[in-house]
Structure 1
Amino acid sequence: MPRVRELEVFRLVLPYGRRPESILVKLTDYGGMTGWGEVVQPGEPRTGRTQAATAALATAGTIPGEGTAEKARDRDTVAVPSAARPLRSGPAGRAGAGAAGERDHVLGKTWAILEESLGPELLGVDWEHPDELGELPGGTAVDLACWDLWARMRGVPLAHAIGGTRTSLMATVHLAAERSLEAMVARVNRHVCAGYAHVTLDVHPGWDVEPVRAVRAAYPALALAVDARGAYTDVSALEALAAYDVTAIERPFGGPGGAPDLDLHAELQERVTSLVAIEVHSVPALKEAIAARAGSALLLRPSRFGRLRAVRQAHDLAVAAGWDITAAGGSGTGLARAATVAVASLPGCTLPSDVTEPPRSAQIVTPPVGASDGVVAVPLTQPGLGHLVDEDRVRRLATDSFRL
């Protein structure tokens, strides 16, 4: 029976791209067994005002921060509820200050919850299974660490512990907009030569039909999907992409508060044979999307659901509805990506998954998480997440930490 003796929390600023931040949680039980989890800085979807700005930059041929796979998108966000009691100043206040705004505020709130409420309440508590712990307002990190610890204690891989059946996954590589069509095709070529059989292109108004046409002309047999990141408000613009045999159109339409526009998703799915993949962040939202026929595939981002229990429920709902599933995740370190690999091993995850390896500068686990010849091996020979954490590397990257 697990009982947490010690909780350690690290805040990291990762040395790549736009220097994303993440929080790592390490749990240690009374027998010295450890479990690790991660929550990453929320991303910034391209919706509303950012849509027009990005389209203008694309037309001008300069898209700052884009052009490499590593900078393709800020992924893996988590919505953290308000703490049960007011947050005091301290590490959370330091974490939440400055120009990072709302995204930094979310990590700051998570930090405070872990330090002031959830962390102390978790210490010394006996539990048989992670699902017994109820709501975990600290988000993905604590839940994942509990699952990792629980699976390690039982000597089983996390993938098997949550119901996964696959031994390997087909990976997709996610490519951001480039400065020219030639550069886009050249980047696709490098990944095809590296063994990838599936590529996902970022699209937005001003950068959609032309790059898809160029890539399709260069690679007629390549499996190709597009990710709009909620940038569109018109069905016809995306309908034109289906003519180029795209397997899926991911996140086509945003809505109020960042929620997807179900009516537009449903209308697009009626017009195209490509899968329309919707991203939602809760089981009730998925039920609503299925009822509205707002697509035929789920883009499942484990960290946005907060709990692996909710992830499994969403998986089962999508399968029951006849939907395909693609798992996605992975800004941050290899810990969050390892969790995505475990989720992608679930039997309903039939589409290629976005679990690309983080830059070497942010790699803190061995073996590294990533694809070889376009395929990701599910770690089944070691218990838990199946990766060892380089704690010295974590401490070097950490800008703040505390221990309870």
Structure 2
Amino acid sequence: MKIDQISLYRLKMPLKYPFETSFGRLMFKDFNVVGVHSGGQVGYAESTSLPYPVYNEETTGTVSYMLKEFLIPRLFSKQDIVHPQEVDELFSPIRRNNMAKAVLEGAVWDLYSKQNGISLARALGGKKNEIEVGVSIGIEASIDEVMAKVEKFVADGYKKIKVKIKPGFDVELIKAIRKRFGMDIPLMADANSAYTLKDIDLLKELDQYGLMMIEQPLAYDDIIEHATLQKQLQTPICLDESIHSAEDAQKAIELGSCKIINIKVGRVGGLTEAIKIHDICQQNNIPVWCGGMLEAGIGRAHNIALSSLANFTIPGDTSESNRYWEMDIINPEVAFKEPGKLCVPESSGIGYEVNEEALTKYLVEETVIKNDQVLQS
């Protein structure tokens, strides 16, 4: 394929409800959407960066800058792209900036799938026709408020309940959920790097509650101390922020730093690298699941496609569109086929159409680039 044009959209979408983690409180999603044009067709992807550098070093602004100044010119330098994996190789000399790389590479994957008349899931090697999904519950003002959400989402049929924890809002929360709902609901805790090895005794208290996993309890860039902690815990550790590449995953597995890995496309630099991590984990009997970054519909569609790969055996965070948005940017919106399950689209590309009305409604800035020249901004 020869890339004719790149469209960049910066959107700002209000969340239906505030979402809080140990990083802070989000009231809206400020993010980039990329459209890659070739031969009259367009592939789309969505950046997972946040407006400020608290999950990783990237922001909505830095992603936009990297796309315009470095990544799009490199993509235009390639006269013909046979397969999206070539984009991963093309971007490899540029250090990190994984979310910026991922959104452009993801749009090429969607375009490639459309041009070949196959679904993105099949292009990635996925075989599943449906996936099970979970839901993520942020930190609330009280345990009772979390409990009310757990009750609702269990009733809705979600196959995994993830609750955010932080120091002072952890053991008592998990204890209360287990007391109210029993040991049978699939429950995990996400710490978002809020603890240190000084908290081993506290974290060991969670062992008695039969959690599926505790996600990223220690530093965002650590795999060494997580190995020390995993030896002390019965509960499986899942690594998130620490894993940026297949090499990171291999090292973490060899060190015994975790028993599960969360794969986020933006964090690892794109779908090509995500597949590599999936394959390494599968070879080492480490289950994976697809984490969420409060994606709108385009990003959600990419996550569904990725989750169709065989080793995604744990329900991911890809909940329905109406969990977060009054109006999503795709048609149809992401909705259950039955409680806790989503269909993997069979039509070409991501399997959803862009909702132009919503795109216009949430649009903050649009830039069109062709042959390294800004045509409209």
- TM superposition score category, shorter chain reference: 0.7 to 0.9
Pairing of 1:193-212 with structure 2 (within 5 A): 193-212=155-174
Partners of 2:82 and 2:258 lie apart in 1 by: 38
C-alpha deviation, 1:22, in angstroms: 0.8
Give the direction of change, closer, same or farther, for the CA distance of 1:307–1:158 in structure 2 (3 Å limit).
Answer: same
Which one of 251, 257, 274 corresponds to residue 288 of structure 1?
251
> Is the Cα contact below 8 Å between 1:37 and 1:141 reproduced in 2?
yes
Give the direction of change, closer, same or farther, for the CA distance of 1:206–1:277 in structure 2 (3 Å limit).
Answer: same
> Is the Cα contact below 8 Å between 1:45 and 1:230 reproduced in 2?
no
Which one of 6, 12, 24 corresponds to residue 33 of structure 2?
24
Partners of 1:273 and 1:120 lie apart in 2 by: 49
Pairing of 1:2-13 with structure 2 (within 5 A): 2-13=1-12
| Aligned residue in 2 for 1:113 | 66
Give the direction of change, closer, same or farther, for the CA distance of 1:300–1:117 in structure 2 (3 Å limit).
Answer: closer
C-alpha deviation, 1:121, in angstroms: 4.5
Partners of 2:366 and 2:157 lie apart in 1 by: 40
The secondary structure found in structure 1 opposite 2:47 is: strand
2:79 aligned with 1:125, yes or no?
Answer: yes
Partners of 1:273 and 1:265 lie apart in 2 by: 13
The secondary structure found in structure 1 opposite 2:86 is: helix
Partners of 2:75 and 2:212 lie apart in 1 by: 44
Which one of 34, 44, 68 corresponds to residue 36 of structure 1?
44
Aligned residues: CA RMSD: 2.1
> Is the Cα contact below 8 Å between 1:3 and 1:29 reproduced in 2?
yes
> Is the Cα contact below 8 Å between 1:177 and 1:203 reproduced in 2?
yes
> Is the Cα contact below 8 Å between 2:134 and 2:162 reproduced in 1?
yes
Partners of 1:226 and 1:328 lie apart in 2 by: 13
> Is the Cα contact below 8 Å between 1:326 and 1:350 reproduced in 2?
yes
| Aligned residue in 2 for 1:175 | 137
CA-to-aligned-CA distance 1:257-300 (integer Å, 9 cap, x gap): x302x233223322333221012112222122112110111011
Which one of 212, 217, 230 corresponds to residue 269 of structure 1?
230
Give the direction of change, closer, same or farther, for the CA distance of 1:125–1:170 in structure 2 (3 Å limit).
Answer: same
> Is the Cα contact below 8 Å between 1:327 and 1:354 reproduced in 2?
yes
CA-to-aligned-CA distance 1:36-76 (integer Å, 9 cap, x gap): 01113237798xxxxxxxxxxxxxxxxxxxxxxxxxxxxxx
2:329 aligned with 1:374, yes or no?
Answer: no
| Aligned residue in 1 for 2:13 | 14
> Is the Cα contact below 8 Å between 1:333 and 1:363 reproduced in 2?
yes
| Aligned residue in 2 for 1:186 | 148
Which one of 215, 224, 229 corresponds to residue 250 of structure 1?
215
Partners of 1:266 and 1:118 lie apart in 2 by: 35
> Is the Cα contact below 8 Å between 1:22 and 1:332 reproduced in 2?
no
Compute the TM-score of the two structures, normalised by the length of structure 2: 0.85
The secondary structure found in structure 2 opposite 1:19 is: strand
| Aligned residue in 2 for 1:63 | none
The secondary structure found in structure 1 opposite 2:90 is: coil
CA-to-aligned-CA distance 1:301-353 (integer Å, 9 cap, x gap): 11111121111111111111211111112324111111111111111111111
| Aligned residue in 2 for 1:86 | none
CA-to-aligned-CA distance 1:104-126 (integer Å, 9 cap, x gap): xx332332333344334534821
Partners of 1:400 and 1:117 lie apart in 2 by: 19
Which letter does structure 2 place at the counterpart of 1:14? M
| Aligned residue in 1 for 2:21 | none
Which letter does structure 1 place at the counterpart of 2:111? L
Partners of 2:237 and 2:53 lie apart in 1 by: 18
Partners of 1:319 and 1:118 lie apart in 2 by: 31
> Is the Cα contact below 8 Å between 1:333 and 1:362 reproduced in 2?
no
Q: Percent identity at matched positions?
A: 27
Instruction: Could you tell me which runs of 5 or more consecutive residues in structure 1 were left unpaired when the two chains were aligned.
Output: 47-76, 80-101
C-alpha deviation, 1:399, in angstroms: 0.9
Partners of 2:341 and 2:68 lie apart in 1 by: 39
Which letter does structure 2 place at the counterpart of 1:363? D
